[in-house]
Amino acid sequence: MEDTLPKPRDEREREGRKSGRKMEWAGREDHLGGIPRKIAFMAVGGLAKLIASSLNSTSVQNPETLIRLLRSRPPGVPLITVANHMSVLDDPLLWGFQGFPSMDSKLARWVLAAEDICFTNTVSSYFFRIGKCIPITRGGGIYQEQMNEALEKLSTGAWLHIFPEGIVSQEDAPLRRLKWGTASLIVRATVTPIVLPIVHCGFEQVMPQSAPYGRRPLLPLCNKKISIIVGEPIEFDLPKMRQMAVPLSRNMSLPSLGWPSTPDGLDEATQRCLYCAISEKIRTVMESLRTFGDDENIYTRSIL
């Protein structure tokens, strides 16, 4: 019976920091000349376009901002996109809209993927690795080894996509509190990344968690309406936010998780305050996009 109980958070974080990088070699650009990666993105990207743009109806607002940042952001500047998580197929279907280079493996995103779902055996681990996925141990904390791998990608100016809620939620409700992993990557990156918010709805109808017959469908459903809203980059005054976090942290009395200090000297309590503030700012921006999307959908239905 005790084996079925969830492990304490501090124990999960210690295990996360100790865990190695699963099948990292398969995710390297030069693995077998890059051929497996190209094949994977041709196949999955093509399937995403078929499902999102042909079998369903997808509308996108402000796609040019995303595409511009993929193709022509300053050299060496990383990009982090953040989106709400509505279904297990959000990625790759989110990139299946018309005009998006979903089959270009060089422009494609890296994405944080749940290790206990995507990396359960050798075959799936290899597939997701060549698909530019980084395994993340849920509950393993922001200092787990896999987060260092994500930081390394950002240090090369790569694009990293994150679902900061950390879990699929198909409820039409305000966004959950965001996990602090995204904020920690923003702060710890050697070059401050551009952070672009994306909000969507409709994928929960394409792949519902609980279909009318009581379980998730085997295949994506068709003839659904998908809406994607791409926001504008979120601006962070990190020096000011750091200064504000220091005095706030002095009033905290939480048990230590054993985090190391950052290179610029932020202790664990200050990091918590800083990551909380950054996460809340991201959540507020995403929620405003989500509310805007709801209002647009109500207006569209009223005139049809």
What DSSP letter does each residue of 246-260 carry, written as one string?
HHHHTT--PPP--PP
C-beta atoms surrounding 13 within 10 Å = 21
Provide the CATH topology of domain 22-235: Glycerol-3-phosphate (1)-acyltransferase (3.40.1130)
Question: DSSP E strands: which ranges in 158-222?
Answer: 159-162, 194-201
pLDDT higher than 60, residue 147: yes
CA dihedral 34, 38, 39, 44 (to 10 degrees): 140
For residues 177 and 185, the answer to whether their CB atoms sit within 8 Å is no
* CA–CA gap between residue 99 and residue 96 (Å, rounded): 9
- pLDDT above 70 coverage of the chain, percent: 89
- What average pLDDT does this structure show over 142-169? 96
pLDDT digits (tens, 9 = 90+) for 180-217: 999 999 999 999 999 999 999 999 999 999 877 678 89
**Which phi-psi region, left, alpha or beta, contains residue 132 (left: φ > 0; alpha: ψ -120 to 50)?**
left
- pLDDT above 90 coverage of the chain, percent: 80
For residues 216 and 207, the answer to whether their CB atoms sit within 8 Å is yes
In angstroms, the Cα distances linking 217 to 44, 47, 48, 108, 111 are 19, 17, 17, 28, 24
- What average pLDDT does this structure show over 156-180? 95
- What average pLDDT does this structure show over 86-99? 97
Of 58, 158, 49, nearest to 108 by C-alpha is: 158
Least confident segment among 9-13, 184-188, 277-281: 9-13
- Return the domain boundaries, the chain: 22-235
pTM of structure: 0.90
For residues 200 and 62, the answer to whether their CB atoms sit within 8 Å is no
